[in-house]
């Protein structure tokens, strides 16, 4: 499975990569949608919390909102969703890279036969 110090990507590897890409598509889409939603909700979340402190100057409203337990929980949710999204993204990129390597290998093998 090695040729000139490079690992050969097998057809089995490609089938596994394709299966994973197909089976994970819905989950990856949901994870990305969750991340997009949480990012979009960050400003309204902060604004709603600032409203609770409307009797304070703007800078104090901002400080209180950003230190509020609900805002901190929201930011932690964004972090969790980001980790999940990026993990999926990196797995997808790896699967796509394997497929591209396999294509290149096969093109090279065909060229060597000529």
State the average pLDDT over residues 52-70. 98
> Which distant-in-sequence residues (6+ apart) come within 8 Å of 51 by Cβ?
none
Partnered with residue 7 across adjacent β-strands are: 2
What's the pTM? 0.79
Mean pLDDT over residues 24-32, rounded?
96
Residue 17: name the closest of 78, 102, 74 by CA: 102
Q: Which of 64, 71, 70 is nearest to 50 (CA)?
A: 64
Higher pLDDT, 36 or 14: 36
Out of 4-8, 21-25, 42-46, least confident range = 4-8
- Answer whether residue 18 shows pLDDT above 60: yes
pLDDT of residue 54: 97
Across residues 14-38, what is the average pLDDT? 95
């Amino acid at each position: 499975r090695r040729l000139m110090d490079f690992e050969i990507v097998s057809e089995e590897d490609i089938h596994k990569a394709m299966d994973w890409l197909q089976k994970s598509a819905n989950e990856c889409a949901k994870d990305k949608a969750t991340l997009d939603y949480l990012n979009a909700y960050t400003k309204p979340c902060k604004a709603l919390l600032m409203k609770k402190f409307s009797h304070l100057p703007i800078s104090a409203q901002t400080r209180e909102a950003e230190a509020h337990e609900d805002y901190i929980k929201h930011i932690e949710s964004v972090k969790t969703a980001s980790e999940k999204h990026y993990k999926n993204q990196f797995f997808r990129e790896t699967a796509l890279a394997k497929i591209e390597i396999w294509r290149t290998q096969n093109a090279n093998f065909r060229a060597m036969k000529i």
